[in-house]
């Protein structure tokens, strides 16, 4: 564990995690596509609560389904590209981390929901999942 760049055990764990995670072109493309996909997904799943709350549920379902098409047009290629270098578990945890990263600003700024410490706790759990799935 002796390394000139590592002063503590935590530094070593963080550096070893990032060392094992490759920022190759397919992984970068996957992250970008998943971010865009999750923007559409979040609006499809929750946007109707603000915009279509007075309409029949099937109107909201059809609108959400139309938005979700764009999510899938980005998500499917993201997973296919990502699976060339990541395993399915890594893809899933990466998607969950991105989903939370997209959902929190959406919830705060678009839906005007109050900020809660629960977002921090959930983020810490997801960060732990990311660490364990990518640690090698």
82 lies in a domain?
Answer: yes
**In the chain, how many domains are there?**
1
pLDDT of residue 136: 75
Residues near 27 by Cβ (< 8 Å), separated by ≥ 6? 21, 82, 85, 86
Tokens standing for 58?
A: 């099937």
17 lies in a domain?
Answer: no
pLDDT of residue 109: 96
76 lies in a domain?
Answer: yes
49 lies in a domain?
Answer: yes
Overall pTM surpassing 0.85 (yes/no): no
Buried b / exposed e along 35-68 (16+ C-beta atoms within 10 A):
ebbbbbbbbbbbbbeeebeeeeeeebeebbeebb
User: Which of 129, 103, 84 shows the shortest CA–CA distance to 35?
Assistant: 103
Q: For the chain, list residues with pLDDT below 70.
A: 1-22
pLDDT of residue 2: 46
Q: Structural domain of residue 97, as residue ranges?
A: 24-134
Residues near 91 by Cβ (< 8 Å), separated by ≥ 6? 30, 79, 82, 83
């Amino acid at each position: 564990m002796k390394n000139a760049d590592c002063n503590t055990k935590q530094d070593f764990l963080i550096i070893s995690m990032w060392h094992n995670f490759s920022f190759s072109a397919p992984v970068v493309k996957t992250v970008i596509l998943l971010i865009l996909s999750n923007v559409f997904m979040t609006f499809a799943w929750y946007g109707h609560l603000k915009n279509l709350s007075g309409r029949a549920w099937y109107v909201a379902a059809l609108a959400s389904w139309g938005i979700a098409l764009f999510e899938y047009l980005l998500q499917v290629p993201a997973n296919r590209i990502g699976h060339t270098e990541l395993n399915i578990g890594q893809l899933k945890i990466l998607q969950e981390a991105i989903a939370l990263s997209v959902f929190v600003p959406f919830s705060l700024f678009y839906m005007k929901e109050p900020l809660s410490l629960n977002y921090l706790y959930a983020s810490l759990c997801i960060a732990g999942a990311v660490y364990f799935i990518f640690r090698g």
